[in-house]
């Protein structure tokens, strides 16, 4: 799985950090999403999918596949 974020779409709710703190963080200045792992391990797939589903701004996009 590949994770893509669009900070411009992020409203800073922090739902992604609550769901998957190993993969997401928030910018200290404006609270927008910061991606920590673009290709998280398989044991975090459910948490990352939950984070994407909970994102009110639709700032997280998931792509199946392996990193290039």
68 falls within a domain: no
Q: What total of structural domains would you count in the chain?
A: 1
Tell whether 18 is covered by a domain. yes
Q: Do the beta carbons of residue 33 and residue 51 sit within 8 Å?
A: no
Kindly state whether residue 23 falls inside one of the protein's structural domains. yes
CATH of the domain at 8: 3.30.70.20
CA-based torsion, 7, 9, 12, 16: positive or negative: negative
Model confidence, pTM? 0.91
19-57: per-residue pLDDT in tens?
999 999 999 999 999 999 999 999 999 999 999 999 999
Q: Is residue 36 part of a domain?
A: yes
Where residue 65 falls among pLDDT bands split at 50, 70, 90? confident
CB 7 within 8 A of CB 45: no
Torsion of CA 35, 36, 39, 42, to 10 degrees: -120
Residue 17 belongs to what domain range? 2-63
The answer as to whether 8 is a domain residue is: yes
């Amino acid at each position: 799985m590949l994770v893509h974020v669009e900070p411009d779409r992020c409203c800073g709710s922090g739902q992604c950090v609550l769901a998957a703190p190993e993969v997401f963080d928030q910018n200290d200045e404006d609270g927008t999403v910061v991606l920590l792992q673009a290709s998280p391990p398989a044991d975090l797939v459910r948490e990352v999918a939950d984070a994407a589903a909970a994102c009110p701004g639709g700032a997280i996009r998931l792509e199946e596949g392996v990193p290039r």
